[in-house]
Structure 1
Amino acid sequence: MAVLAPFLVLCAFVLEFHHVEATADTLSCLDSSFCLGELEVIYPGLEIDKCLIVQKDLRKKLTTLWKAPRINFSGADEAKVYVLVMVDPDAPSRNNPKAANWRHWLVVDIQGNALKKGEIEGTTLTEYHPPTPPKKTGLHRYQFMLFEQPPDTSVSLAEKESSSRGKWDLLAFITRFNLGKPVATLQFLTKNYED
């Protein structure tokens, strides 16, 4: 019997591992590794502080009911200003991202002291648009990236960028304003609430 107990524990572990791997709504290692820093995205019924897949029962609220989330970054330097970007790199689908990066939200000049308290005091260049993945396109990643804004830099969108949210060249934007690497990143995955 003493030999049987470790065998049963090992079997349970292997079966559970297999179950997790087989689930369609499980984060891949690549998706999990995106989240860095102490960024928090807070909706009325959902607090996100790590990479996750939004539960099915919350997807409709996320798309149709909830407004822009609160953003909290406890690591913010009170004397600095920040840029917040929210994009969907999977528009219209992860297998065919021809409209990536879809810009869902862009705020610049965010004061560090407000950000540390979970408030966004800055200039909105692109109003918040909730996640609205099309039907039958699977999971979409909604990525939040927080950058330090270089001192005395006025960040804006070019006229062409302002006219469309889709096919946004995020890398060109980052390069143009010398934003460097994000200080914190966070993402959640969700799909159409009717799927």
Structure 2
Amino acid sequence: MGCLLRLAIVLLLAEGTMVNFRVLSRAMSSVARAFEGHGVVPDVVPKAPTTDIKVKYPSGVEVNLGNELTPTQVKDVPTVTWNAKPESYYVLAMTDPDAPSRKEPKFREWHHWLVGNIPGNNVAAGETLSQYVGSGPPPETGLHRYVFLVYEQPGKLTFDEPRLTNRSGDNRGGFSIAKFAAKYNLGDPIEGNFYQAEFDDYVPILYKQLGG
């Protein structure tokens, strides 16, 4: 009887492991499908991350692999969490490859947020290279993609990037998170997510904030 019980437990554990693996595999493939289906691969990164980061705004909305949000809903700094190792450092980026529009992205990418040397996933304790700026798609330019990416750093880094405030739009266009990652040997993003947004009444307010 003891042997049969042990065998039953082993089989149950094995079945549970397979179920967890299938759930993880579905999650991984859904992230890749979304990144590729919306053209984030290859417009922003050559390879999709395997899992999605959690991004929640004070307005109550959450980012979900290409869902449509409004500039009003995403105007404030979100809470971002991911499966972090407490002893590791990370880079978090938010970037728009569709500036000024997806059809004519001559300012690709316009980056909205860049933080490095984040211990674990404590973004507030990281080194802010570019302060958060919400979505500001120009009128009649359709939906823009706003992409969040997390990279694990090889260690604590010294960044020579200009420090940008959220009171100016200078030095944000013409950015490439892929080139940034290559410069600092970050490899591929480990987690990511993105939403889409188009012009609403908040955008002119944001432009005034940026000195436009």
**With structure 2 as the length reference, what TM-score do the two structures score?**
0.66
Whichever residue aligns with residue 62 of structure 1, its letter is: Q
Residue in structure 1 matched with residue 14 of structure 2 by the alignment:
none
Distance in 2 between the 1:173 and 1:138 partners? 27
Are positions 1:106 and 2:132 aligned together?
no
Percent of paired sites with the same residue: 32
Deviation at 1:32, TM superposition (A): 8.4
Contact 2:96–2:146 (8 Å) recurs in 1: yes
Q: 1:147 to 1:102 in 2, by over 3 A?
A: same
Residue in structure 1 matched with residue 65 of structure 2 by the alignment:
51
Identify the match of residue 93 of structure 1 among 83, 97, 101.
101
Superposition map of 1:27-66 within 5 A: 30-31=37-38, 36-44=50-58, 45-48=60-63, 50-55=64-69, 59-62=70-73, 66=75
- Stretches of structure 2 that go unaligned for 5 or more consecutive residues are 1-33, 41-47, 164-168, 202-212
Distance in 1 between the 2:35 and 2:51 partners? 19
Whichever residue aligns with residue 52 of structure 1, its letter is: G
**Count, aligned residues:** 155
**With structure 1 as the length reference, what TM-score do the two structures score?**
0.71
Contact 2:49–2:191 (8 Å) recurs in 1: yes
Distance in 1 between the 2:180 and 2:170 partners? 15
Distance in 2 between the 1:100 and 1:62 partners? 23
Residue in structure 1 matched with residue 185 of structure 2 by the alignment:
178
Superposition map of 1:105-124 within 5 A: 105-112=113-120, 115=121, 119-124=123-128
Deviation at 1:134, TM superposition (A): 0.5
Residue in structure 1 matched with residue 84 of structure 2 by the alignment:
76
Are positions 1:189 and 2:173 aligned together?
no
Deviation at 1:119, TM superposition (A): 4.8
Distance in 2 between the 1:148 and 1:35 partners? 12
Deviation at 1:155, TM superposition (A): 2.6
SS in 2 for 1:173: helix
Deviation at 1:154, TM superposition (A): 1.6
Q: 1:68 to 1:170 in 2, by over 3 A?
A: same
Whichever residue aligns with residue 98 of structure 2, its letter is: D
- Stretches of 4+ moved more than 3 A in 1? 32-36
RMSD of the alignment, in Å? 2.5
Q: Describe the superposition over 1:50-72 as per-residue Cα deviations: whole angstroms up to 9, x where unpaired.
A: 303225xxx15235xx3110111
Distance in 2 between the 1:38 and 1:53 partners? 13
SS in 2 for 1:109: strand
Are positions 1:148 and 2:177 aligned together?
no
Distance in 2 between the 1:169 and 1:111 partners? 23
Distance in 2 between the 1:28 and 1:169 partners? 17
- Stretches of structure 1 that go unaligned for 5 or more consecutive residues are 1-26
Mean CA deviation greater in 36-45 or 91-100: 36-45
SS in 2 for 1:156: coil
Contact 1:35–1:51 (8 Å) recurs in 2: no
Whichever residue aligns with residue 37 of structure 1, its letter is: T
